[in-house]
Amino acid sequence: MNAPATPAVPHHRLPELLRAMPKAELHIHIEGSLEPELIFALAQRNGLTLPYASVEALRAAYAFTDLQSFLDIYYAGASVLLKEEDFFDMAMAYFERAAADHVVHAELFFDPQTHTERGVPFGTVIDGLTRACETAERTLGVSGSLILCFLRHLSEEAAFATLEDALPYRTRFIGVGLDSSEKGHPPEKFARVFARCRELGLHLVAHAGEEGPPAYIWSALDDLHVERIDHGVRCVEDPVLVARLAAERVPLTVCPLSNVKLCVYPTMDQHNLAALLDLGLCATVNSDDPAYFGGYINQNFIETFDALPQLGSEQAYKLARNSFEASFVDAGVKAGWVKRLDDCFAVFAD
Ligand code: ADE
Ligand code: ZN
């Protein structure tokens, strides 16, 4: 794509612009979009009793100290998902919020092992999610695709078994990723699984450099051959790595609210999003697990731009444009979205 223009938009119109501009979301765990109200509704529908007395009590438990303290609650929340309809309802609720935030395209992570380990068939999970993607495109005009994530705290053997389960549904997902507890589970643990996925023509991404060191980002690039790094914020600790990510335009799917909620940064004004852009990296803004971290994609944009004075309309444009560049769609589709972005900025320009 050509170098972005530098659109001039008056500062007071920035929040409105951030909300209205078309954008793609590339880092959203669909299980992380389960709002407490929906957790309770699904528990009731499925005859399950939750270890929390109310929606408020559940929400009050969302005080995380690190990634693991979040994951423990996140996997417990996902345990209410049993039927195809549950997966459909969860994903449709997300797509409705995404459409309201002017998301034109979303690439959704899903964690099949979280469900198959509880006896929910892989087909049930992917049937519900696929139907939601089709419905969202038809009724909301938001395109969606699925990325199957392997849980890195489980074994290589378990990942291979999940891939076997998934192969009859090969056309229903566009790629694979790697998530869950990062520290102690470096990407190289899954090198052979990712090699097989690469042979199958799947897109490859991995969480790296969220809590883990820059060495994990190197490993995701060199051992897994990923096309995008999820989070990746710790790359700044290694200038040689930054130079490589910039030169190869490897996208980083950054999730600012997540990083603050999981104590990667103490406060938003210490987040490095602006620095990543200044270093020439293809950074994007995403919500990660919006039901747990205090907001969907537009809330991430609003809070980062509020906290970081270096961020203005030029950076807003870059972030939206990067999200299109980093997405796994055809160049022609990307060009159409860039045109919509330019039209939006023209409306807001001085
Ligand atoms: N699964 C859901 N959210 C995650 C995150 N932020 N990091 C790793 N695994 C996750
Ligand atoms: Zn994530």
pLDDT in tens, 133-145: 999 999 999 999 9
Whether the pLDDT of residue 4 is over 70: the answer is no
Whether the pLDDT of residue 341 is over 80: the answer is yes
Q: What is the mean pLDDT of residues 276-292?
A: 98
Ligand 1 mean position, distance from CA 179 (Å): 5
Q: Which residue has the tokens 């087909």?
A: 123
Which one, of 279, 285, 289, lies nearest residue 304 by Cα?
Answer: 285
State the pLDDT at residue 5.
57
State the pLDDT at residue 350.
74
| pLDDT, greater one: 4 or 284 | 284
pLDDT band per the 50, 70, 90 thresholds, residue 337: very high
3-state SS, residue 317: helix
For the stretch 41-98, pLDDT in tens is 999 999 999 999 999 999 999 999 999 999 999 999 999 999 999 999 999 999 999 9
Contact 107, 145 (CB under 8 A): yes
Per CATH, the number for 11-349 is 3.20.20.140
State the pLDDT at residue 8.
81
**Token code pair at residue 81:** 């998902």
Which one, of 28, 20, 25, 32, lies nearest residue 143 by Cα?
Answer: 25
Residue 210: active-site member: yes
Percent of the chain scoring above 90 in pLDDT:
97
State the pLDDT at residue 123.
98
- Rounded distance between C-alpha atoms, residue 202 and residue 180, angstroms: 20
Cβ-based neighbour number of residue 12 at 10 Å: 7
- Rounded distance between C-alpha atoms, residue 304 and residue 40, angstroms: 31
Average of per-residue pLDDT values in the chain: 97
- Rounded distance between C-alpha atoms, residue 54 and residue 36, angstroms: 9
3-state SS, residue 243: helix
- Rounded distance between C-alpha atoms, residue 325 and residue 310, angstroms: 23
Q: What is the 3-state secondary structure (H, E, C) of 84-144?
A: HHHHHHHHHHHHHHHHHCCEEEEEEEECHHHHHCCCCCHHHHHHHHHHHHHHHHHHHCCEE
pTM of the predicted protein model: 0.97
Q: Where are the domains of the chain?
A: 11-349
Q: What is the mean pLDDT of residues 29-37?
A: 98
Contact 114 CB / ligand 1 (< 6 Å): no
Ligand 2 mean position, distance from CA 30 (Å): 10
Ligand 2 mean position, distance from CA 180 (Å): 8
Q: What is the mean pLDDT of residues 189-195?
A: 98
Contact 284 CB / ligand 1 (< 6 Å): no
Q: What is the mean pLDDT of residues 165-177?
A: 98
Ligand 1 mean position, distance from CA 182 (Å): 9
Contact 152 CB / ligand 1 (< 6 Å): no
- The residue whose C-alpha atom lies closest to atom 8 belonging to ligand 1 is 180
Q: Which among 25, 31, 107, 210 is annotated as catalytic? A: 210
Which one, of 95, 89, 110, lies nearest residue 32 by Cα?
Answer: 110
Contact 67 CB / ligand 1 (< 6 Å): yes
Whether the pLDDT of residue 291 is over 70: the answer is yes
For the CA of 182, the nearest ligand: 1
pLDDT band per the 50, 70, 90 thresholds, residue 6: low
**Token code pair at residue 34:** 């389960």
Contact 206 CB / ligand 1 (< 6 Å): no
Per DSSP, 325 falls in state: H
Contact 286 CB / ligand 1 (< 6 Å): no
Mutate to test the pocket of ligand 1, among 25, 26, 29, 259 (most ligand atoms within 8 A of CB): 29
**Token code pair at residue 167:** 């192969």
